Amino acid sequence: MKPLPPTSELLQVARRVIWFKEPVVALQDPIHFLAHAMNLGTADDLTALDKAGISLAHYDEVLGHAPAGIFDERSWAYWNLRCGHRPIPPMPVRHIGQQSN
């Protein structure tokens, strides 16, 4: 997935869901950014993502490459069901020696 454009709406979402990185930097890693938005995003955040062209296919791609430790169980179940994954696959896990984002 290509980096997302630094529009004012996306920067605002990035600022809220990835408070530990500069918003412009957060948008450079769309899988990581969208995983955080899928887990912590508000309805307004998701509306902004929809307006920016983020589709269900993008969310499905995030699930296929989800970094370990970002999703909680509820969000993981919700997005997998929304993307048609039944049964719900196990959550990603971090292995010893594996770097996190």
pLDDT band, very low/low/confident/very high, at 96 (cuts 50, 70, 90): confident
- At 101 the pLDDT is 57
- Condensed to tens digits (0 to 9), the pLDDT of residues 34-68 reads 999 999 999 999 999 999 999 999 999 999 999 99
In the predicted model, is pLDDT for residue 94 greater than 90?
no
pLDDT band, very low/low/confident/very high, at 95 (cuts 50, 70, 90): confident
The H or E element spanning position 50 is: helix 43-51
Q: Amino acid letter at 65?
A: H
Note whether 82 and 58 are within 8 A (CB). Answer: no
- At 58 the pLDDT is 97
Share of the chain above pLDDT 90, in %: 89
Q: Amino acid letter at 30?
A: P
Global pTM reads 0.91
